[in-house]
Structure 1
Amino acid sequence: MHYYLLKRFITALPTLWLLISLVFLLSRMLPGSFSSARILDDNAGFYSKANAESREKAYRDYLHKTSQDLPLFYFSINAAPEPDSLNLKYSESDRQQLKRLAWHYGSQNIVSEYFNNLQQVENQLSSNKKQRLQNELMVLHTSISSHDLVSSAQKVAEASSTTAASALEKKTIQLVKQQNPYSFMLPALHWHGLKNQYHQWLSQLLQGNFGYSYRNNRAVTEVLAEAIGNTWWLISISICLAFIIALELSLLMIQHPHSRWKKFTLSILFTLDSIPLFVLALLLLVLFASPFFLQLFPVYGMGFYGSEPNNIFYAIANQAPFMVLPIVCLVLSVLPYLTNQIYRALSDAAQANYTKTARAKGLSFRKIVRTHILRNALLPIITLLSDMLPSLAAGAIIVETIFAIPGIGSMAITAVQSRDYPVIVAIVLVIAIFKVLSNLLADFCYALADPRIRYSTS
């Protein structure tokens, strides 16, 4: 059995590596970034007080510090005129304009020189001249029309007598004259070697380092360690309570198959199953945490607004009221499906011939359940629970967001909103590892429940 579990774990590693690699690559390919939204924004943030040149320098320093100025993978395949990933030093809007110009005119070198001259001109212009040439500068930043580019570059050169403005005019004319619009049809393979974002990330990951958060520059392991405990207890207590309640309800419905109590229970479960999770959470808040109804529990948070207490019993007593409504919400959300599946498994075992024989011998219902029904229905129940554990993580995201619980779910929402990709990748990795471990736990429980599996796989 130990060999079987080890084999299952080793075979799951390539799947885990492929999943987390895809998440990492896709997260880096999404448009926009935390740095461009916070550093280059003119209207908000600390860097908005600085001029454009200072913000651009801070942006490039930040990209270099976080290795975002490196190519994404070991190689890249793109159109021949398209700038390679080294152009990540530009902001998102500038990168899009560079690609459009390169695809239209067919020369990434001239396009890069043209854009560098344009930035030099903007840095040398005074505020009054920038205001006066605002339309021309906007055209140079957004248009790909040859007539508009040449006309705007000439107007900028006439209004400014600097050498950068003259160089911009010459470079714009050169860009238009050397246009090769069909070069985008040729593919280009760029080999970047080991100096790329994926290689650095994978090397750090194998050393147990998830990187640093873009939002607050803290180690991702520290951020996860602070949040994973609340989510773990929330999911663990919820699945245990849901399983116990579902098992008891299923046994009662099997023992009294034609009672009114069974019809009433099924109607309640059907009603719960039709209520979305976020609606159920809001209903619980309104009914049991609102001063207009029954204000029995706190509304949100975990009870700590300063330093956390050192006494574990005091911490549990302080956190328990805050966890009641989230746990009840998760239990009620999975209870209908869990009860239905357990009832079907137990009902099939109760209709088997060995159960009928045990009843004919005069055994009590409790003994029949313990020795015959439960043991033969364990395998589908174990499969159900192993699939239920990871699915509760998705429900925990909604519950933690509504109840403001500092767990994995609320941290994932914050990371997505702030484009904190290292935290997002780490959360996906934790959930994937949790899924693999739940499958291994299910295999172990299979072997304990059925000796035939133990003997055939050991």
Structure 2
Amino acid sequence: MYAFRRLLYLPLSLLLLSLVCFGLQLITPGDPVLQLLPPAESRLGTEDPAAYDVVYRRAAASLDYDLPLFYFSLTNAALPDTLHRILRPEERTMLRALTLNCGDWPAVARYYRELRYLAYPRQPDSLLVGQAEASPLARRLLLQDDPQDIANIVGQLAGNPRATALVEAHAGLEMGQRRGRLLLPAFRWWGLDNRYHRWLGRVLRGDFGHSYLDRRPVGHKIWAAAKWTALLNGLALLVVYLVAIPLGLLTAARAGSRFDRVMTFLLFLLFGIPSFWIATLVTNFFTTPAYGMDFFPSMGFGEIPSGADWWTVLRIRTSHLFLPVLCLAYPSWAYVSRHLRRSALHELGQAYIKTAKLKGLTGRQILWGHVLRNASFPILTLLGAMLPALLAGSVLIERIFNLPGMGQLLYNSAVGRDWPVVIALVLLNGLLTAAGLLLADLSYSLADPRVRLGSERPNPSTAG
């Protein structure tokens, strides 16, 4: 029942995460439409502005940029309910600023209509008197939202016969002040036909869009990198627990001894050394022949020969993964072992441990058969937090060792401003965080079947 309730909370967490990722997608720098246009169509911006405008508007509509952002909006009453249909962001910004300045959308719409007609004529410039001089200035006006700058440019067009209608529309813009509407709010309900709803639907189907850098589907790029990150982090997590659990139990059993003090010092020393620094050192000293210690391959996961047997595959993969797995795992040894030590010390002072000793059980049997089971709650909780932490740490490790995983993909995408890939990886990392926390909670019942999830944890002193 507890697992069912937690699974009900999971969609809510993912919904909030999707809102954050969608918001990040909106505020990322750059114009996604421009980044997705092929080079041949991008060059039309200088060669044929009218054709480029058509291409741009078609591409923006294919990305659902002609739809409202969300299910509802709370805006100024002076703004129209069709402003989202203006696909060029600079033009939409200009129209919004002009409307919020005068409050008269009909006058602004007339000015915009005449402006676009002059900026992108349907006939060649050679057939229209004064068009060659007017069109560049009109296209400049499409980028202007300051009233004074607009008035200066319109003044340059005053004597042009092709710009008469635009000059009159601008004059009407200055005279048609309806500032009273600027004081009123407007709530608009858009329903399901909005950008967020369509984006969320595509994400749920596994469609994260296309990469800006190579036009490949984002899902394909992530899937190709995820298997390597899963292998790297899975091995690192295994090494963390294989080392930290015995150390935690042994230091608890020998608390205050020289062994305990030495291991505590060494573990905290490792914990304080940045893993990326150690990774840089070992790649310089242990992977190059310059220092006479060329023990490991330097980069990648290794090339597997065609028809290689399992032993060859294991040898190649182990030689390439040993250093990155070690660098990724060692910072967590102190973290996990100290939590386990503290919990084990509490258990060792309980009455059931004395009973176990009276029954003749050895110290090893008590540690591994009784203490570990009851002291495992902290390390199970840490399991849920370590999954996303390992993913975050693998960004630098994969970069240093040139491993083609999700960390390397995230770094390259962030540097190249490939925002669809970055947003998808952030969403995936949040999903793993939520799944890890759920896994940690469910692991409680596996560690001790007497625990009833969703209720208070039983007092350890009553455990036998």
Q: Is the shorter-chain TM-score for this pair beyond 0.5, marking a shared fold? A: yes
Among candidates 222, 229, 252, match of residue 254 of structure 1: 252
Q: Please say which of residues 308-317 and 343-352 is displaced more in the overlay.
A: 308-317
Deviation for aligned residue 1:209 = 3.6
Q: Which residue number in structure 2 is paired with residue 66 of structure 1? A: 63
Q: Would the aligned equivalents of 1:104 and 1:180 in 2 still touch at CA under 8 Å?
A: no
After superposition, the C-alpha distances for 1:254-285 in whole angstroms (9 at most, x for unaligned) are 34334444333322322332234443433333
Map residues 16-415 of structure 1 onto 2, 5 A cutoff. 16-30=14-28, 32-37=30-35, 39=37, 47-52=41-46, 53=49, 54-82=51-79, 86-87=83-84, 89-123=86-120, 141-146=143-148, 148-158=149-159, 160-161=160-161, 163=162, 165-181=163-179, 183-206=181-204, 208-215=205-212, 216-290=214-288, 292-293=290-291, 294-303=293-302, 313=310, 317-359=315-357, 363-415=361-413
Deviation for aligned residue 1:316 = 5.3
SS at match of 2:75: strand
Between the aligned partners of 1:126 and 1:321, the Cα distance in structure 2 is 68
Deviation for aligned residue 1:365 = 1.9
Between the aligned partners of 1:120 and 1:279, the Cα distance in structure 2 is 60
Q: Would the aligned equivalents of 1:210 and 1:221 in 2 still touch at CA under 8 Å?
A: yes
Between the aligned partners of 1:343 and 1:372, the Cα distance in structure 2 is 14
Residue identity in the other structure for 1:110 = A
Deviation for aligned residue 1:421 = 5.2
- Sequence identity percentage: 30
Deviation for aligned residue 1:439 = 3.6
User: Are residues 413 and 156 of structure 1, via their aligned partners in 2, closer, same or farther at CA, if it must alter by over 3 Å?
Assistant: farther
Deviation for aligned residue 1:308 = 9.7
SS at match of 2:157: helix
The normalised TM-score by structure 1 is 0.82
Between the aligned partners of 2:413 and 2:249, the Cα distance in structure 1 is 43
The normalised TM-score by structure 2 is 0.81
Q: Which residue number in structure 1 is paired with residue 461 of structure 2? A: none
Deviation for aligned residue 1:295 = 4.0
Q: Would the aligned equivalents of 1:63 and 1:89 in 2 still touch at CA under 8 Å?
A: no
SS at match of 2:73: strand
After superposition, the C-alpha distances for 1:134-177 in whole angstroms (9 at most, x for unaligned) are 8997577335234x42232121343x54x3x3332222222112
Q: How well do the aligned residues superpose, as a CA RMSD in angstroms? A: 3.7
Q: Please say which of residues 411-420 and 66-75 is displaced more in the overlay.
A: 411-420
Residue identity in the other structure for 2:151 = V
User: Are residues 116 and 356 of structure 1, via their aligned partners in 2, closer, same or farther at CA, if it must alter by over 3 Å?
Assistant: farther
Between the aligned partners of 1:331 and 1:369, the Cα distance in structure 2 is 24
Between the aligned partners of 1:369 and 1:172, the Cα distance in structure 2 is 85
SS at match of 1:101: helix
Deviation for aligned residue 1:236 = 1.1
Q: Please say which of residues 314-323 and 263-272 is displaced more in the overlay.
A: 314-323
Aligned pair count reads: 444
Between the aligned partners of 1:315 and 1:115, the Cα distance in structure 2 is 66
Between the aligned partners of 1:456 and 1:132, the Cα distance in structure 2 is 72
SS at match of 2:188: strand
User: Are residues 455 and 194 of structure 1, via their aligned partners in 2, closer, same or farther at CA, if it must alter by over 3 Å?
Assistant: closer
Structure 2 segments unaligned to the other structure (5+ residues): 456-464
SS at match of 2:186: strand
Between the aligned partners of 2:243 and 2:165, the Cα distance in structure 1 is 77
SS at match of 1:325: helix
Q: Would the aligned equivalents of 2:18 and 2:200 in 1 still touch at CA under 8 Å?
A: no
Q: Please say which of residues 409-418 and 67-76 is displaced more in the overlay.
A: 409-418
Deviation for aligned residue 1:292 = 4.3
Between the aligned partners of 2:36 and 2:435, the Cα distance in structure 1 is 38
User: Are residues 398 and 456 of structure 1, via their aligned partners in 2, closer, same or farther at CA, if it must alter by over 3 Å?
Assistant: closer
Residue identity in the other structure for 1:203 = G
Q: Would the aligned equivalents of 2:229 and 2:407 in 1 still touch at CA under 8 Å?
A: yes
Deviation for aligned residue 1:324 = 2.8
Between the aligned partners of 2:21 and 2:327, the Cα distance in structure 1 is 30
Q: Would the aligned equivalents of 2:388 and 2:433 in 1 still touch at CA under 8 Å?
A: yes
Between the aligned partners of 1:248 and 1:411, the Cα distance in structure 2 is 35
After superposition, the C-alpha distances for 1:227-274 in whole angstroms (9 at most, x for unaligned) are 221111111111110111111222332343344443333223223322
